[in-house]
Amino acid sequence: MELRLLRYFVAVAEERHFGRAAARLHMTQPPLSRAIRQLESDLGVVLLLRSAAGAEPTAAGAALYAEARTLLDQVERARARVLEAAGPATLTVGTLADGAGESGTRLAAAFRRRHPEVSIRFRETDFTDPTTGLRAGLVDVALTRAPFDETGLSVRVLRSDPVGLVLRTGDPLAGHASLRLADVADRPWFQLPDGTDRLWREYWNGATPIGERPAGPVVRTVGECLQAVLWNGSAGIAPLGHALPDGLTWVPLTDMPPSPLVVAWVTERENPLIRSFARIAIESHR
């Protein structure tokens, strides 16, 4: 039996529902159903009774759940012992400038409990590299925001935040309960440096192809964006949660896609510590 299949089965047995288990595992339901059928075929028994209401373990399923839960816990303990035997480990986490706080206190506390022996280093990058140095091998894992070119990367969404327009408090649009992108179609818009990931540039250009908005100042960090609004009255967008200085306000944009906060890593460089960090990040944002 593959550990992967056992993890899938445990998720379904605990959630009592294929849809909820698929969401928990960050996968779609069809491959999860196929994996459980494969496990049942390998064992030659029915493990789950499917119904419109969900999935209930059979007697065989309940027995497998108890054994699988114990086995998976043993695997985690073995992994921890192996890492401990290898000596002090270091994990380098990439973040966008001004975004380190998005890792969250719950994630930091949970990771410290699970891996007290691991030293964490942070590396901040500006907007020119939304993957924060993953492809260059400068970081092991990234806490960043999509969208960007995901070729060769494993990406998991932690949460999605609404996006709004950042304005000076005295701006005529600042008093609105919400706005649409068309309301600021004629305003100069922040530009990202040439060579920046195309998907990333288009998203922060108001989900509009490059060149179809009046060009504003070139910016590389959240701080530069906010100062441009404060001093020049430029139009810029930001996800909910960024602290704004006095004199600025945030108005929701109803037709702007939400901004996904993600954890990402290079697939071929994946190791147990990176997988553990990603799992803890997902759990802490659940």
The CATH number given to whatever domain includes residue 274 is 3.40.190.10
Closest to 77 (Cα-Cα) out of 278, 282, 268, 276: 276
Model confidence pLDDT, tens digit, residues 63-77: 999 999 999 888 888
Query: For the whole model, what pTM was predicted?
Result: 0.67
Shared domain for 25 and 96, answered yes or no, is no
Q: The domain containing residue 125 runs over which residues?
A: 89-160+260-284
Give the model's pLDDT for residue 188: 82
85 in Cβ contact with 33 (< 8 Å): no
Residue tagged 């908005």 (tokens): 213
Residue tagged 């922040």 (tokens): 190
Shared domain for 98 and 224, answered yes or no, is no
Domain final residue, candidates 85, 118, 144? 85
Over range 245-269, report the average pLDDT.
92
Model confidence pLDDT, tens digit, residues 183-229: 888 888 888 888 888 899 888 887 666 556 777 888 888 888 888 88
Shared domain for 213 and 230, answered yes or no, is yes
Count CB-CB contacts under 10 A for residue 24. Answer: 17
CA angle 161, 170, 220 (to 5 degrees): 50
71 in Cβ contact with 10 (< 8 Å): no
